[in-house]
Amino acid sequence: MDAHRHHQEELRKLQRLQCAVQNYDWGLPAPASRVASLHALNSGLPVDPRRPYAELWMGTHDSGPCYLISNKAPLNTDNNGVAAPSTLKSWLLQHPGALGDSVLDRWGCDLPFLFKVLSVGKALSIQAHPDKDLARALHKRLPDIYRDANHKPEMALAITRFEALCGFVSLLELKDVVASVPEVGELIGNASKGRVLDFNVSDGPDKFKPLLQEVFTQLMSADKDVVAEVVSNVKNRLQAETQVRELTDKELLVLRLEEQYPGDVGVVSAFFLNYVRLEPGEALYLGANEPHAYLSGECIECMATSDNVVRAGLTPKLRDVQTLCSMLTYKQGSPEILKGISLNPYMKRYLPPFDEFEVDHCALPQGASTTFPAIPGPSIFLVMAGRGTMETDSLKEEITEGDVFFAAADCPILLTAETQLQIYRAGVSSRFLSHQ
């Protein structure tokens, strides 16, 4: 076989991946964590029952790279002369054709998306991800904190009931918050409170943005000792009121957040943000500069390849309140919930308005087969449950829960289920690929 043909054969093959796990303290304890069970199956390594398991990373980001574990993967040599498996990133540098021309032209020799599973045991920080210009500036100024120069639009697709705070509530809801939550008034002051209550709704949300930014910045920048006292007052007031009335869902959430992060300004700022609950199979997407915090549950997550986070509340980690408050879009109202577009009886596609990624969910009953057609971009497949086979050209792989595969561009995949099979696929947006 000539070298070119051999190279093409290599590209057509599926590459089996061993993925990175992250044990952030907000993760679920190992026995309850889908991330822990998938990691154990994927890596063959034991889990530590005393540690939280938060994220499984499937991609090429340097903070959690994937390794090729197929027998024929090119081996690198470590400092001791011992053969070590290649990272997916180094394999792509050697096989750029695996990405397809349009992906290579737009993003260079790397995957433009990072695919994850999240197991959320307690609230993540109130945060936003910078757009490209801000990411470049932050990375240049503080490379130890902002690790890359990329933006990070993202999407969370619920696999259990999943809760999040996301985006600012509408102007009407915010007026209600300022009028009825005395502690918010304490933190923003009477003058700001009066300006919000007096603002004419018919002037529209765009005119309100500068005032929303001013008020939210006041809230998030308030003196720590004052905040601690005010958060304690919220808790005491709501606990007393629960004796005489039923608390709202948002008030119950605020009490939960106070238990997790006592004295934290994020507890009060929750009143400013939409409280979203996703059922399994529903997805939430977030553009750059949108405030959010995941609260509980497990999800599939996909994002542009970045790990940049600007935090301002519900966290013991570094906060960058001024950057966060100045970068937000201050868009108001409920976020769009994606329910997936049916591609065939077994498959749904979640297509957010970003070029870097989309996610397909395939639920295949026992004995059934389906095809993922060849596409001009790369994919990563995660076997979430069940057992079956994955076939491309002459290669047939036995697949089981916890397996993760990279598939090159122009590589059709035939799936057959031996038991009921659940697969998630992340790939570059078909909208982007079809316009190239």
Could you tell me the two tokens for 143?
């490379």
How far is Cα 190 from Cα 263, in angstroms, rounded to an integer? 22
Asked if 311 is an active-site residue, the reply is yes
The two three-digit tokens of residue 137, written as one number:
């500036």
127 annotated as belonging to a binding site for a ligand: yes
Catalytic hit among 12, 16, 34, 311: 311
- For residues 396-426, one letter each, b for 16 or more C-beta atoms within 10 angstroms of the residue's C-beta and e for the rest, the string is ebebebbbbbbbbbbbebebbbeeebbbbbb
CA distances in angstroms from 48 to 39, 118, 299, listed in the order given: 11, 17, 21
Residue 129 labeled ligand binder: yes
Residue 287's identity, in one-letter code, is: G
What is the Cα–Cα distance from 210 to 192, expressed in whole angstroms? 12
Neighbours of 436 (CB within 10 A): 13
How many whole angstroms separate alpha carbon 301 and alpha carbon 286? 11
> Residues, the chain, total?
436
Q: Is 154 annotated as a binding residue?
A: yes
Reported for 341-347, long-range contacts at CB under 8 A and 24+ positions apart, including other chains, are 344/370, 346/370
Known binding positions: 127, 129, 154, 292
Instruction: Return the active site residues.
Output: 311
Known binding positions for Zn(2+): 127, 129, 154, 292
